[in-house]
Amino acid sequence: MNPKKRIRSLGLVLGGLLLGVALALGLLGGRPSMEEEHFLSRGLDYVAAFAAAAQSWIEEEDLGTLEDAARFMLLGSAAFVEVVWDGETVVREARGELSPPPLRELPPETRTSFHSEDHARFLEVVYPLERGYVRAWLEVPTPGGVPWWLPTAVGLLSALGLGAIGGALYLGYRRSSPGPGKRGSLVEVGSLTIDEESKEVRLCGKPVKLSPKQYALLLLLAREPGKVFSDRDILRELWPDSRYANSKDVKQYIYLLRRRLGEVLPGAEALIATVPGFGYKLLSPEEIGLTER
């Protein structure tokens, strides 16, 4: 295995363990004797650990593990978790009907604030990433209720579970790592090419930089060019486990993908055609008269 990839894979293992341990510490917020300042300190550590792991998973394009980790957080003191990357919502998980309003702007540094909603009090932590942010609402504990040892036990079990996930990823990556000279499959739609191994996209010879979700959407359409994909088809493939994704998310990513393509070559927005009442399909650059300029 390439040493760089080995380090990244090991990072997944360590990130899973770190997140699990942080979950155990953060869940100690269930102790009725904890003061607000102590809770704030633990909450910051909790979200910082998740953010470090989240950035690694995004860079590895392992969004499935990221979504699983966000759901693990909901087992503890977290009631809402959101991860935004390149201006796009990658993960948004919430407990119950909690739906915090979107941020108006990204703060330049970690920000905390307290909110009250539905007879509960929450600590909001916004933690900047290189190209986005992690945002979490942690429920402030109230006297009485859950025994202190119960959330601790859940946290420790989560640590073991996340460590196992990381280990499985590492071992699976080792088994699937291509040997010297082996090439991944190349998807071609005219002069639009997608290398599934390197994740490189080129349009008329020009590189196209896409976020993981935009890449997944383009690859889905490119595997069957000309086929019309409905909102439901796209949701099933790109957000298989999300309870919150809907047609608005599909339209947003179609718009963002069109914009990225148009930034590479003017007119490339037309590569993704809308079929009114049915969905979207991918055309080849040659079909819309697009050539390298």
Residues 31, 107, single domain; the answer is: yes
Question: Which range of residues forms the domain containing residue 201?
Answer: 186-282
Closest by CA to 82, choosing from 134, 44, 138, is: 134
- Identify any residues that bridge with 78 across adjacent strands, giving them in sequence order: 138
- Whether the CB-CB separation of 135 and 23 falls below 8 Å is answered with no
CATH code assigned at 191? 1.10.10.10
Helix orientation angle between 149-176 and 3-27, rounded to the nearest 10 degrees:
170
Give me the pLDDT at residue 255, please.
93
Residues 146, 232, single domain; the answer is: no
Residues 35, 153, single domain; the answer is: yes
Question: What are the backbone dihedrals phi and psi of residue 127, each rounded to the nearest 5 degrees, phi first?
Answer: -115, 115
Residues 14, 146, single domain; the answer is: yes
pTM: 0.44
Per-residue pLDDT in tens (0 to 9) along the chain, 293 residues:
444 444 455 555 555 555 555 554 444 444 444 456 677 777 888 888 888 888 888 888 788 888 888 888 888 778 899 999 888 888 999 888 888 888 877 777 888 888 887 778 888 999 998 888 999 998 887 655 444 444 544 554 455 555 555 555 544 544 444 443 334 579 999 999 999 888 899 999 999 999 888 999 999 999 999 999 999 999 999 988 877 888 888 998 999 999 999 999 999 999 999 999 999 999 999 999 887 65
Q: What is the 3-state secondary structure (H, E, C) of 226-255?
A: CCCECHHHHHHHHCCCCCCCCHHHHHHHHH
Residue at which a domain ends, from 176, 203, 225:
176
Question: What are the pLDDT digits (tens) for 53-62?
Answer: 888 888 887 8
Residues 33, 145, single domain; the answer is: yes
Residues 136, 16, single domain; the answer is: yes
Looking at this protein, which amino acid is placed at residue 68?
A: D
Residue whose pair of structure tokens reads 């460590």 in the numeric block? 163
Question: What are the pLDDT digits (tens) for 197-239?
Answer: 888 999 999 999 998 889 999 999 999 999 999 999 999 999 8
Residue at which a domain ends, from 176, 210, 234:
176
Distant-in-sequence, close-in-space partners of 23: CB < 8 Å, separation ≥ 6: 46, 72, 73, 75, 76, 155, 158, 159, 162
Residues 199, 254, single domain; the answer is: yes
Q: Is residue 288 part of a domain?
A: no
Q: Is residue 197 part of a domain?
A: yes
Residue at which a domain ends, from 150, 176, 202:
176
Residues 146, 190, single domain; the answer is: no
Q: Is residue 8 part of a domain?
A: yes
Both tokens of residue 31?
């102790």
Number of separate domains in the chain: 2
Q: Is residue 66 part of a domain?
A: yes
Residues 169, 208, single domain; the answer is: no
- Residues 33-71: b if buried by 16+ CB within 10 A, e if exposed: eeeeeebbebbbebbebbbbbbbbbbebebbebbbbbbe
